[in-house]
Structure 1
Amino acid sequence: MGAQVCLMRGFELRVDARPVVVSQNAQRVLAFLALRDRPQRRTTVASALWTDSTEDRAAANLRTALWKLSDLRDRLVRSAGTYLSLCPDVDVDLSRLMQRTRRLQDSALDDGTGDAVVPADVAAHVGELSADLLPDWDEDWLVFERERLRQYRIHALETLCRRLVRSGRFGDAVDAGLSAVESEPLRESAQRVLIEAHLAEGNVSEARRQFDRYRTMLWDDMGLLPTVPLWTLVGVLRPE
């Protein structure tokens, strides 16, 4: 069955389909390695995880964290000289999500019959895309990873929304669009796909209401107006 490291919605380690409790520092080491696509120097891992410690103390903390994994260490972490990485057969939920979403974005718009290519279980896919990366952790090294995931998530939700509109699944399209807007309310491309979904379903009033909310929020927060194409989409002239 193997081992699985879960990072979305919170850390969880499962070995042979059973939850396993490990120390907080061991969790941090596993999460750090899970977010890297190549082996990391021990010094890099130690300095990133223990920024307030001396080099020697950080190295000692890393050794202790690995030692506390006990019998699981060889199943989870590969050590090659001065480099560490997760073992290749360790499953990481974030990696699977990124792979599935990348396949969706890279695939053809339709399957050759005119039907849009969309995931089999749209609700589950939207739920996965809407999850946060280790939301309860306050770690400097997670800031960049969270922002990268946020950008990837929004692009994926926008793509999914457009494909669902093309397939005529307007309810699912609106759900995906709402999730994109929730991730970044001031992002015009997210607002646009949601408004397009409302219009495609024939709900002009919903589209106009969403546009008005966005226009007000954008002006109140940033003193800006939506771009001309968005005004045109809802059939409203932009004020000069």
Structure 2
Amino acid sequence: MTITAPAPSPTSAVAPHVQLRLLGGFELRIDGAVVDLQPAVKRLTALVALTPCGLSRDFAAFQLWPDKSEARARANLRSTLWRLHQLAGDILHASATHLRLDDSVSLDTRDVLAGADAEDGVPRPFETLMADLLPDWYDEWIDVERERFRQLRLARLEQRAHAALADRDAATAIQLALAALAIDATRESAHRIVVRAHQAEGNEWEAERERSRYLRSQQEVVA
């Protein structure tokens, strides 16, 4: 007698692994494969992803299509949501009034800023905080998000630098603080970390040189 195994229940299917990258450029991967999206679909996905608590459908429509009538913008949103669903499934939750990113989606900006400093047991290099948010995008709405992320990653770099100092790892603290200064050369708090780290190593000459570098940067700003 032949026994046929029962078909797997639809609820037992393994959910796809979805990764969304916004740092250094847009990329969506599902189970490791890159999903090719149209520009409007990318922009909608990024806008929703950068709003952790979600946003209203009308706000998304008017942000993405500011030069269209309200009716046209809403219609564009509906068609864009349909295209996204066809290509990537339900990575966005869309109610009658609101949109939000599905919690299962791995989002690089969220992971980095939440302090997820290890992936598969391997520590993340601090360079992950150096990448700009969607650097090749010029939409007006992304400017605010880009500046917000810049401030958050500066704070995160300094937080990690302070932790390194507390662990008596002055060399790592210096590298993290210098990474912050590569983003904002006039940031006083990062200069102070570099000075403290050099002093912790007993390098008073290096500490004084860093003080002088900070003073020069301030003079250049005033000039």
TM bucket (normalised to shorter chain) is: 0.7 to 0.9
**2:26 is equivalent to residue 4 of structure 1:** no
The number of aligned residues is 205
Kindly indicate whether the alpha-carbon contact (under 8 Å) linking 1:161 and 1:194 is maintained by their aligned counterparts in 2. Answer: no
Output one character per residue of 1:81-133: Cα deviation in whole Å (capped at 9) or x when no partner: 122222232221111112226x9xxxxxxxxxxxxxxx972xx3411222211
Output one character per residue of 1:7-63: Cα deviation in whole Å (capped at 9) or x when no partner: 111100001121111101100000001011223221110101112222122222222
Distance (Å, rounded) in 2 between the aligned partners of 1:26 and 1:129: 26
Counterparts of 1:91-170 in structure 2, within 5 Å, are 91-100=106-115, 121=123, 124-170=124-170
CA RMSD in angstroms comes to 2.0
Q: Identity of aligned pairs, percent?
A: 35
Of residues 86, 99, 115, the one that matches 1:84 is 99
Counterparts of 1:7-22 in structure 2, within 5 Å, are 7-22=22-37
Task: Give the SS at the match of 1:174.
Answer: helix
1:28 maps to which residue? 43
Task: Give the SS at the match of 1:26.
Answer: helix
1:226 maps to which residue? none
Task: Give the SS at the match of 1:181.
Answer: helix
Kindly indicate whether the alpha-carbon contact (under 8 Å) linking 1:2 and 1:16 is maintained by their aligned counterparts in 2. Answer: yes
Kindly indicate whether the alpha-carbon contact (under 8 Å) linking 2:113 and 2:153 is maintained by their aligned counterparts in 1. Answer: no
Counterparts of 1:67-82 in structure 2, within 5 Å, are 67-82=82-97
Kindly indicate whether the alpha-carbon contact (under 8 Å) linking 1:164 and 1:172 is maintained by their aligned counterparts in 2. Answer: yes
1:57 maps to which residue? 72
Distance (Å, rounded) in 1 between the aligned partners of 2:21 and 2:194: 30
Unaligned 5+ segments in structure 2 are: 1-15
Distance (Å, rounded) in 1 between the aligned partners of 2:180 and 2:93: 37
With the length of structure 1 as denominator, give the TM-score of the two structures: 0.78
Distance (Å, rounded) in 1 between the aligned partners of 2:188 and 2:114: 26
Unaligned 5+ segments in structure 1 are: 104-118, 224-240
Amino acid at match of 2:167: S
Distance change >3 Å, CA 164–CA 39, structure 1 → 2: closer
Output one character per residue of 1:162-210: Cα deviation in whole Å (capped at 9) or x when no partner: 2212222222111101011112111211110111111211222222222
Counterparts of 1:148-227 in structure 2, within 5 Å, are 148-222=148-222
Kindly indicate whether the alpha-carbon contact (under 8 Å) linking 2:52 and 2:101 is maintained by their aligned counterparts in 1. Answer: no
Output one character per residue of 1:67-94: Cα deviation in whole Å (capped at 9) or x when no partner: 2225335421212112222223222111
Deviation (angstroms), 1:144: 2.1
Task: Give the SS at the match of 2:99.
Answer: strand
Distance (Å, rounded) in 1 between the aligned partners of 2:108 and 2:154: 18
Q: Which moved more, 1:146-155 or 1:15-24?
A: 146-155
Kindly indicate whether the alpha-carbon contact (under 8 Å) linking 1:66 and 1:73 is maintained by their aligned counterparts in 2. Answer: no
1:227 maps to which residue? none
Distance (Å, rounded) in 2 between the aligned partners of 1:161 and 1:146: 22
Task: Give the SS at the match of 1:68.
Answer: helix
1:110 maps to which residue? none
